[in-house]
Structures are given as structure tokens and as C-alpha cells.
Amino acid sequence: MIVYGWVTDTSILACFLATLGPGLLIMFNFSVVNLWMARRFKLVLDEKPKANELVAEVGRRGMTATPALLMPVIILGGIYGGVMTPTEAAAVAVIYSLPVGFLIYRGLKWGNFLSAGKEAATAVGAIMLMILFSMILSQMFVMESIPQALVESIFEISENKILLLVLINILLFLVGMVVNDVTAIILIAPLLLPLMEAIGVSPVQFAAIMGVNTAMGGVTPPYASILYLGARIGKVKVTKVVRPAMILILTGYLPVVFLTAFWPDLSLFLPRFFGY
């Protein structure tokens, strides 16, 4: 089942596969645009190492990075392997990160550990409150048959599938700009699913459309949590990050958003290949 039953009779793996195709295309677009943008900077490149030096360096860095790289293996392997729920996988990852941070990399100290715990608790508390009220509101929508009434009202205005998909994508993008992706899915999906099915969009494709749009909203101000995190890691002001980020969104992200909506095979190819 997908989040709180908003897509029934559809497995998590099918929706994951549906978002994988658009995600790979976005990654390719970003790589191409990044290559073009990087040529405008005056980069200072190191001398090309010899083959044996390169192999030795890759091996050394690979060994150093192995403890950290095991974390996503534990999280994703546990979830998709059916061993753990996402919540349990998160707890296991935190427990695993403590000895790695304290004993192996030694970058984790009691001072920054307590500070990180406080920030995490504050963020989780705010998100949980948003999810709580979103769930209450979505249940009210269902009990009052608001999605069905919304479908009837929209069809009175227009039955043009292309126009409706454009409007739905704009709505999802705007919602993603002001709330996190989980809250957007819980709040909006129960409303839009009957409409999407009425215009011939499968629940699996709808999952991909939701995922791509809400992810794009996550890098678009004012919410833009990923953008703020990137600026913090790069130690630059957000104002310097916004312009290049908008270039990447307009040239690499936005085309994939509309391709996902208007070209079903982009998101449905992998689910169909695996029998969904």
C-alpha cells in the first residue's frame, strides 16, 4: 500500500519503479547542464594521475568511504527487502551511525551530537504536526466526498485532458513550494486521485507525477529545504545558489515534469517490465 492508502491495490515497489525513469532522466539532464555551466568557471584542475596512482587512490578512498556507504545499503536494502519498515530502517541507521561517527571517522563529538539531536527533534516535531493535521484534513475530505464533488465541478469547466494535466502539475508544484513532499502527498493525493483516474491516468503514473512535482517544489523557494541544505553544505549564501538552481530546474527538471504527465511510458515502462 502507498501512503495511507491513497493509491489502493498498488505496491510501493511499482510506484518506486515509476519514479525511477523520470529520476534517471532528470539526473542525465542535470549532468548535461552542469557540464555546460562548469565550462564558464575558471577551474584549476590537478594533473592527470598515472594509472597505478589512480587505482591506488580509488582503492584508498573506497576503503575510507565504505562504512558511510553501507548506511544507504542498510536503509534501502532493509526496506525493499521486506526486513524493516521505513521507521525501523531509520532507527537502525541512527544506531549504526553512532559508532561510525564516534569511533571510525571521529567527526562526531558529544557537543555536535547533542546539537544535531536537538535540530533533528525540532524538525521531526514540526513535520509530524504537519502530517497529523494533513491526515485529519484528508480524512475529512474523504468522509465528506469532496474529491468526487471536485471531479464533477472541474468537468463542468473543462474535460480537456491536456489542460487538466497542466493545471494539476501547476497545483502540485505550488503546493510543493510551501510544504514538504510527505505533507503534500497526504493532503493532495486523496483529492486528485479520483480526478486522475477519471481522465485516464493510472495510479502508478499519478505516483510518478506526484513524486516529480513535489521533489521539484523541494528545491524551489520559499520552502526549498534541499536548496537551503545545499547552501549550508557549500558554505554560501542562498541568494548565490538560487540563480544556478533555477537554471537547472528550468532546463533539467521542468521538461521531465511535463514528459512524466504527457508520456505515460516514461513512468510505466519499468513497472510493466516487472509485471505491474
Q: What percent of the chain has pLDDT over 70?
A: 95
Cell numbers that stand for 84 in this block: 524493516
Model confidence over 13-51: pLDDT tens digits? 787 788 888 988 998 999 998 888 888 777 777 777 788
Query: What was the pLDDT predicted at 9?
Result: 41
Between CA 98 and CA 105 the distance in angstroms is 10
Between CA 140 and CA 113 the distance in angstroms is 40
Model confidence over 235-267: pLDDT tens digits? 888 788 888 888 888 888 889 999 999 999 888
Angular region, 106: left φ>0, alpha ψ -120 to 50, beta rest: left
Kindly state the average pLDDT of the residues 118-145.
77
| Number of Cβ atoms within 10 Å of the Cβ of 73 | 9
| CA atoms lying within 13 Å on the CB side of residue 139 | 7
Q: Is the dihedral of CA 221, 227, 224, 117 positive or negative?
A: negative
Between CA 217 and CA 191 the distance in angstroms is 19
Q: Where are the domains of the chain?
A: 3-39+51-273
Query: What was the pLDDT predicted at 23?
Result: 87
Least Cα distance to 74 among 64, 84, 65 occurs for: 84
Cell numbers that stand for 153 in this block: 465541478
Helices (H), the chain: 12-38, 51-80, 86-99, 110-143, 146-157, 161-178, 181-198, 203-217, 225-234, 238-248, 254-262, 264-273
Between CA 272 and CA 152 the distance in angstroms is 31
Question: Which DSSP state fits 223?
Answer: T
Model confidence over 176-196: pLDDT tens digits? 777 777 777 777 787 788 888
Confidence of residue 7 (pLDDT cuts 50, 70, 90): very low
| Number of Cβ atoms within 10 Å of the Cβ of 175 | 20
Cell numbers that stand for 82 in this block: 521486506
Between CA 270 and CA 112 the distance in angstroms is 42
Between CA 99 and CA 96 the distance in angstroms is 6
Residues 6 or more apart whose CB falls under 8 angstroms from that of 212 comprise 19, 22, 23, 26, 256, 257, 260
Between CA 225 and CA 218 the distance in angstroms is 6
